Protein backbone atom coordinates (compact mmCIF):
# COMPACT_ATOMS: atom_id res chain seq x y z
CA UNK A 1 0.00 0.00 0.00
CA UNK A 2 1.41 3.35 -1.08
CA UNK A 3 0.15 6.71 0.20
CA UNK A 4 1.36 9.98 -1.23
CA UNK A 5 0.22 13.21 0.41
CA UNK A 6 0.50 16.76 -0.92
CA UNK A 7 3.80 16.03 -2.65
CA UNK A 8 5.49 19.04 -4.26
CA UNK A 9 8.77 19.53 -6.07
CA UNK A 10 10.05 22.68 -7.76
CA UNK A 11 13.30 22.64 -9.70
CA UNK A 12 15.42 25.83 -9.78
CA UNK A 13 13.08 27.69 -7.37
CA UNK A 14 13.02 31.48 -7.53
CA UNK A 15 14.98 31.61 -10.78
CA UNK A 16 13.85 32.28 -14.34
CA UNK A 17 14.15 28.52 -14.97
CA UNK A 18 11.78 27.56 -12.15
CA UNK A 19 9.76 24.42 -12.93
CA UNK A 20 6.94 23.26 -10.68
CA UNK A 21 7.35 19.59 -11.53
CA UNK A 22 4.97 18.26 -8.84
CA UNK A 23 2.16 20.47 -7.59
CA UNK A 24 0.50 18.73 -4.66
CA UNK A 25 0.20 15.08 -5.62
CA UNK A 26 -2.25 13.00 -3.56
CA UNK A 27 -2.30 9.34 -4.48
CA UNK A 28 -3.22 6.03 -2.83
CA UNK A 29 -2.21 2.76 -4.44
CA UNK A 30 -3.74 -0.25 -2.69
CA UNK A 31 -1.76 -3.42 -2.00
CA UNK A 32 -1.34 -5.50 -5.16
CA UNK A 33 -2.62 -2.79 -7.51
CA UNK A 34 -0.95 -2.32 -10.90
CA UNK A 35 -1.35 1.35 -11.82
CA UNK A 36 -0.31 3.05 -15.05
CA UNK A 37 0.68 6.71 -15.31
CA UNK A 38 0.14 8.62 -18.55
CA UNK A 39 0.65 12.29 -19.32
CA UNK A 40 2.15 14.79 -21.71
CA UNK A 41 5.92 15.30 -21.90
CA UNK A 42 7.19 17.12 -18.86
CA UNK A 43 4.02 16.56 -16.84
CA UNK A 44 6.01 15.20 -13.90
CA UNK A 45 5.67 11.42 -14.36
CA UNK A 46 9.37 10.64 -13.93
CA UNK A 47 9.68 13.21 -11.16
CA UNK A 48 6.90 11.45 -9.25
CA UNK A 49 8.65 8.08 -9.59
CA UNK A 50 12.00 9.63 -8.65
CA UNK A 51 10.46 11.24 -5.57
CA UNK A 52 9.06 7.86 -4.48
CA UNK A 53 12.40 6.15 -5.14
CA UNK A 54 14.26 8.84 -3.19
CA UNK A 55 16.39 10.29 -6.01
CA UNK A 56 15.79 13.67 -4.34
CA UNK A 57 13.89 15.04 -1.37
CA UNK A 58 10.50 16.60 -2.12
CA UNK A 59 9.94 20.20 -1.04
CA UNK A 60 6.78 19.22 0.82
CA UNK A 61 4.57 16.20 1.35
CA UNK A 62 4.86 12.66 2.65
CA UNK A 63 5.39 9.24 1.10
CA UNK A 64 4.31 6.11 2.97
CA UNK A 65 4.87 2.48 2.06
CA UNK A 66 2.86 0.04 4.19
CA UNK A 67 2.10 2.86 6.64
CA UNK A 68 5.81 3.47 7.10
CA UNK A 69 6.84 7.06 6.40
CA UNK A 70 9.84 6.83 4.07
CA UNK A 71 9.95 10.51 3.06
CA UNK A 72 13.29 11.05 4.77
CA UNK A 73 14.85 7.67 3.92
CA UNK A 74 17.95 7.74 1.72
CA UNK A 75 17.62 6.23 -1.75
CA UNK A 76 19.75 3.15 -0.93
CA UNK A 77 17.55 2.38 2.09
CA UNK A 78 14.38 2.56 0.00
CA UNK A 79 15.97 0.19 -2.52
CA UNK A 80 15.22 -2.63 -0.07
CA UNK A 81 11.51 -1.97 -0.65
CA UNK A 82 11.50 -0.73 -4.24
CA UNK A 83 12.44 -2.36 -7.56
CA UNK A 84 12.98 -0.11 -10.59
CA UNK A 85 13.27 -0.44 -14.35
CA UNK A 86 14.19 2.55 -16.51
CA UNK A 87 13.71 3.32 -20.18
CA UNK A 88 17.32 2.65 -21.11
CA UNK A 89 17.97 -1.12 -21.36
CA UNK A 90 21.61 -0.47 -20.49
CA UNK A 91 20.81 1.30 -17.22
CA UNK A 92 19.91 -1.62 -14.98
CA UNK A 93 22.75 -4.06 -15.63
CA UNK A 94 26.57 -4.17 -15.75
CA UNK A 95 27.58 -4.87 -19.38
CA UNK A 96 30.94 -6.55 -18.67
CA UNK A 97 29.53 -8.98 -16.12
CA UNK A 98 27.83 -12.23 -17.04
CA UNK A 99 24.11 -12.86 -16.84
CA UNK A 100 24.64 -15.02 -13.73
CA UNK A 101 26.80 -12.40 -12.02
CA UNK A 102 24.27 -9.66 -12.69
CA UNK A 103 21.44 -11.79 -11.32
CA UNK A 104 23.42 -12.72 -8.21
CA UNK A 105 24.05 -9.03 -7.54
CA UNK A 106 20.29 -8.42 -7.71
CA UNK A 107 19.64 -11.45 -5.47
CA UNK A 108 22.09 -10.25 -2.89
CA UNK A 109 21.02 -6.63 -2.76
CA UNK A 110 21.91 -5.41 0.70
CA UNK A 111 24.17 -8.42 1.49
CA UNK A 112 27.96 -8.18 1.68
CA UNK A 113 29.32 -11.68 0.94
CA UNK A 114 31.29 -12.32 -2.26
CA UNK A 115 29.95 -13.48 -5.59
CA UNK A 116 31.97 -16.72 -5.73
CA UNK A 117 30.27 -18.23 -2.74
CA UNK A 118 26.89 -17.27 -4.07
CA UNK A 119 27.40 -18.98 -7.44
CA UNK A 120 26.90 -22.43 -5.95
CA UNK A 121 25.22 -25.13 -7.98
CA UNK A 122 21.82 -24.71 -6.32
CA UNK A 123 21.90 -20.98 -6.92
CA UNK A 124 22.81 -21.52 -10.59
CA UNK A 125 19.88 -23.90 -10.90
CA UNK A 126 17.53 -21.37 -9.36
CA UNK A 127 18.83 -18.67 -11.69
CA UNK A 128 18.47 -20.94 -14.73
CA UNK A 129 14.92 -21.86 -13.70
CA UNK A 130 13.77 -18.29 -13.33
CA UNK A 131 15.53 -17.18 -16.51
CA UNK A 132 13.90 -20.06 -18.39
CA UNK A 133 10.54 -18.50 -17.47
CA UNK A 134 11.48 -15.57 -19.74
CA UNK A 135 11.30 -17.99 -22.68
CA UNK A 136 14.21 -16.30 -24.44
CA UNK A 137 16.70 -19.18 -24.31
CA UNK A 138 18.95 -17.19 -21.97
CA UNK A 139 19.21 -20.04 -19.45
CA UNK A 140 21.90 -21.57 -21.70
CA UNK A 141 23.91 -18.34 -21.72
CA UNK A 142 24.37 -17.70 -18.00
CA UNK A 143 28.13 -17.14 -18.39
CA UNK A 144 27.87 -14.78 -21.35
CA UNK A 145 28.45 -11.07 -20.71
CA UNK A 146 25.12 -9.30 -20.47
CA UNK A 147 26.44 -6.78 -23.03
CA UNK A 148 26.01 -9.44 -25.75
CA UNK A 149 22.22 -9.46 -25.33
CA UNK A 150 19.71 -7.46 -27.36
CA UNK A 151 17.93 -4.50 -25.76
CA UNK A 152 14.74 -6.52 -25.34
CA UNK A 153 16.54 -9.46 -23.72
CA UNK A 154 18.38 -7.10 -21.44
CA UNK A 155 15.24 -5.28 -20.41
CA UNK A 156 13.49 -8.60 -19.70
CA UNK A 157 16.41 -9.60 -17.47
CA UNK A 158 16.41 -6.21 -15.74
CA UNK A 159 12.71 -6.69 -15.01
CA UNK A 160 13.36 -10.16 -13.61
CA UNK A 161 16.20 -8.82 -11.45
CA UNK A 162 14.16 -5.85 -10.19
CA UNK A 163 11.43 -8.23 -9.02
CA UNK A 164 13.67 -11.09 -7.83
CA UNK A 165 13.31 -10.21 -4.15
CA UNK A 166 9.61 -9.37 -4.52
CA UNK A 167 9.78 -5.63 -3.80
CA UNK A 168 6.94 -3.92 -1.91
CA UNK A 169 6.72 -1.57 -4.90
CA UNK A 170 7.81 -1.87 -8.51
CA UNK A 171 8.49 1.36 -10.44
CA UNK A 172 8.64 1.19 -14.24
CA UNK A 173 9.51 4.35 -16.19
CA UNK A 174 8.66 3.88 -19.88
CA UNK A 175 10.61 0.63 -19.72
CA UNK A 176 9.50 -0.52 -23.18
CA UNK A 177 9.80 2.86 -24.96
CA UNK A 178 13.34 2.31 -26.30
CA UNK A 179 12.64 -1.18 -27.69
CA UNK A 180 11.59 -2.30 -31.16
CA UNK A 181 7.83 -3.04 -31.36
CA UNK A 182 8.22 -6.82 -31.08
CA UNK A 183 10.54 -6.67 -28.05
CA UNK A 184 8.34 -3.98 -26.48
CA UNK A 185 5.30 -6.25 -26.76
CA UNK A 186 7.29 -9.16 -25.32
CA UNK A 187 8.54 -7.14 -22.34
CA UNK A 188 5.05 -5.69 -21.78
CA UNK A 189 3.58 -9.19 -21.65
CA UNK A 190 6.31 -10.32 -19.28
CA UNK A 191 5.65 -7.30 -17.07
CA UNK A 192 2.00 -8.25 -16.68
CA UNK A 193 2.91 -11.89 -16.07
CA UNK A 194 5.42 -11.12 -13.30
CA UNK A 195 3.23 -8.50 -11.60
CA UNK A 196 0.27 -10.92 -11.56
CA UNK A 197 2.29 -13.95 -10.50
CA UNK A 198 4.08 -12.16 -7.67
CA UNK A 199 1.01 -10.02 -6.83
CA UNK A 200 3.14 -6.90 -6.90
CA UNK A 201 2.11 -3.32 -6.27
CA UNK A 202 3.38 -1.43 -9.29
CA UNK A 203 3.48 2.04 -10.84
CA UNK A 204 4.23 2.05 -14.57
CA UNK A 205 4.77 5.23 -16.57
CA UNK A 206 3.96 4.66 -20.21
CA UNK A 207 3.91 6.84 -23.31
CA UNK A 208 1.69 4.25 -25.02
CA UNK A 209 -2.06 4.71 -24.66
CA UNK A 210 -2.47 1.17 -25.97
CA UNK A 211 -0.30 -0.16 -23.19
CA UNK A 212 -2.17 1.94 -20.60
CA UNK A 213 -5.44 0.38 -21.76
CA UNK A 214 -4.10 -3.18 -21.93
CA UNK A 215 -1.78 -3.68 -18.94
CA UNK A 216 -2.63 -1.86 -15.69
CA UNK A 217 -5.90 -2.12 -13.79
CA UNK A 218 -5.88 1.57 -12.91
CA UNK A 219 -4.85 4.64 -14.92
CA UNK A 220 -3.53 7.92 -13.53
CA UNK A 221 -3.42 10.90 -15.89
CA UNK A 222 -0.93 13.68 -15.14
CA UNK A 223 -0.69 17.19 -16.52
CA UNK A 224 1.61 20.00 -15.43
CA UNK A 225 2.61 18.41 -12.15
CA UNK A 226 -0.87 17.39 -11.10
CA UNK A 227 -3.08 14.31 -11.28
CA UNK A 228 -5.95 15.49 -13.44
CA UNK A 229 -7.93 12.27 -13.91
CA UNK A 230 -7.97 8.64 -12.78
CA UNK A 231 -9.67 5.62 -14.32
CA UNK A 232 -10.29 2.70 -11.98
CA UNK A 233 -12.55 -0.31 -11.54
CA UNK A 234 -15.33 -0.73 -14.10
CA UNK A 235 -14.48 2.53 -15.82
CA UNK A 236 -10.90 1.36 -16.40
CA UNK A 237 -12.16 -1.98 -17.68
CA UNK A 238 -14.25 -0.19 -20.31
CA UNK A 239 -11.84 2.59 -21.26
CA UNK A 240 -10.29 2.57 -24.76
CA UNK A 241 -7.56 4.63 -26.43
CA UNK A 242 -9.97 7.23 -27.93
CA UNK A 243 -11.43 7.82 -24.45
CA UNK A 244 -7.96 8.60 -23.09
CA UNK A 245 -7.23 10.95 -25.99
CA UNK A 246 -10.58 12.68 -25.40
CA UNK A 247 -9.71 13.06 -21.71
CA UNK A 248 -6.43 14.74 -22.68
CA UNK A 249 -8.32 17.08 -25.04
CA UNK A 250 -10.70 17.92 -22.25
CA UNK A 251 -7.83 18.82 -19.92
CA UNK A 252 -6.26 21.06 -22.56
CA UNK A 253 -9.57 22.79 -23.33
CA UNK A 254 -10.25 23.33 -19.66
CA UNK A 255 -6.81 24.87 -19.32
CA UNK A 256 -7.51 27.43 -22.04
CA UNK A 257 -10.90 28.32 -20.68
CA UNK A 258 -11.34 31.41 -18.56
CA UNK A 259 -12.25 30.26 -15.00
CA UNK A 260 -15.26 32.57 -14.90
CA UNK A 261 -16.62 31.11 -18.16
CA UNK A 262 -16.02 27.62 -16.81
CA UNK A 263 -18.06 28.44 -13.72
CA UNK A 264 -20.97 29.65 -15.83
CA UNK A 265 -20.83 26.51 -17.98
CA UNK A 266 -21.03 24.20 -15.00
CA UNK A 267 -19.11 21.87 -12.77
CA UNK A 268 -17.86 19.48 -15.43
CA UNK A 269 -15.54 22.23 -16.69
CA UNK A 270 -14.10 23.12 -13.29
N1 LIG B 1 16.58 16.93 -12.23
C2 LIG B 1 15.89 17.93 -12.79
N3 LIG B 1 16.35 19.19 -12.79
C4 LIG B 1 15.65 20.20 -13.32
N5 LIG B 1 14.45 20.07 -13.92
C6 LIG B 1 13.92 18.84 -13.97
C7 LIG B 1 14.61 17.70 -13.42
N8 LIG B 1 13.85 16.61 -13.62
C9 LIG B 1 12.74 17.03 -14.27
N10 LIG B 1 12.78 18.35 -14.48
C11 LIG B 1 11.74 19.16 -15.12
O12 LIG B 1 10.51 18.89 -14.46
C13 LIG B 1 9.43 18.76 -15.38
C14 LIG B 1 8.84 17.38 -15.29
O15 LIG B 1 9.78 16.46 -15.81
P16 LIG B 1 9.54 14.89 -15.85
O17 LIG B 1 9.05 14.44 -14.53
O18 LIG B 1 10.81 14.27 -16.33
O19 LIG B 1 8.39 14.76 -16.95
P20 LIG B 1 7.80 13.47 -17.66
O21 LIG B 1 8.48 12.26 -17.13
O22 LIG B 1 6.33 13.51 -17.36
O23 LIG B 1 8.04 13.69 -19.13
C24 LIG B 1 10.02 19.06 -16.76
O25 LIG B 1 9.80 20.42 -17.04
C26 LIG B 1 11.50 18.79 -16.57
O27 LIG B 1 12.29 19.58 -17.43
MG1 LIG C 1 9.67 10.82 -18.00
Q: What is the pLDDT of residues 187-227, one digit of tens each?
A: 999 999 999 999 999 999 999 999 999 999 999 999 999 99
What percent of the chain is predicted at pLDDT more than 70? 93
| Bridge partners (DSSP) listed for residue 133 | none
Residue list, CB under 5 A from ion ligand 2: 45-46
Q: Report whether 80 contacts 26 (CB < 8 A).
A: no
The mean per-residue pLDDT over the stretch 175-188 comes to 96
DSSP helix/strand/coil, 241: helix
Q: How far apart are the first and last CA of the chain?
A: 30
CA of 45 to the centre of ligand 1 (A): 8
Proximal ligand: closest to the CA of 227: 1
Ligand 1 center from residue 11 Cα (angstroms)? 8
Mean of all residue pLDDT scores within the chain:
92
Q: CA 15 → CA 18, 20, 146, 230, 264, distances in Å? A: 5, 12, 43, 33, 36
**268: Cβ contacts below 8 Å, ≥ 6 apart:** none
Q: Which atom of ligand 1 is nearest to the CA of 56?
A: 1
Would the pLDDT of 151 be above 90? yes
pLDDT number for residue 91: 86
Q: Nearest ligand to the C-alpha of residue 173?
A: 2
User: What 3-state class would DSSP assign to 36?
Assistant: strand
Could you give the 3-state DSSP secondary structure of residue 52?
Answer: helix
CB 98 near ligand 1, within 6 Å: no
The answer to whether the CB of 177 is under 6 A from ligand 1 is: no
Residue 3's SS3 state is: strand
| Mutation pick for ligand 1 pocket among 12, 47, 223 (CB with most ligand atoms within 8 Å) | 47
- Tell me phi and psi for residue 7, to 5 degrees: -80, 125
Q: Taking residues 22-30, report their average pLDDT.
A: 98
Residue nearest to atom 20 of ligand 1 (CA): 42
At residue 113, the pLDDT reads 54
The ligand with the least distance to the CA atom of 225 is 1
Where do runs of H (alpha helix) occur along 133-240?
151-163, 181-197, 209-214, 233-238
Regarding the beta carbon of 50 and ligand 1, being less than 6 Å apart is answered no
Query: What is the residue with the minimal CA distance to atom 6 of ligand 1?
Result: 11
**pTM recorded for the entire structure:** 0.92
Render pLDDT for 86-122 as a digit per residue (tens, 0 to 9): 999 888 888 899 999 999 888 877 565 555 555 667 8
Ligand 1, atom 4, lies closest to the CA of 11
Banded model confidence at residue 36, pLDDT cuts 50, 70, 90: very high
**C-beta of 58 in contact with ligand 1 (< 6 A):** no
Query: Can you say whether residue 149 is alpha, beta or left, with left for phi > 0 and alpha for psi between -120 and 50 degrees?
Result: beta
Report which protein residue has its CA nearest ligand 1's atom 17: 44
Q: What is the number of the ligand closest to the CA of 50? A: 1
Amino acid sequence: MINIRRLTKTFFPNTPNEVQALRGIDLDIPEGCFAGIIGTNGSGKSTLLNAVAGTFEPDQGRILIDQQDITNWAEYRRASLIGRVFQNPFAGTAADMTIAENVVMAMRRGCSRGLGLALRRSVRDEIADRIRSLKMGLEDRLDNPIGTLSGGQRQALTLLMATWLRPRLLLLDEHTAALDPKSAAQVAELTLEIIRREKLTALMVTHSMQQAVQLPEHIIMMHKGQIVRQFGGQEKARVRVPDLLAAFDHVRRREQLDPAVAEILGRQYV
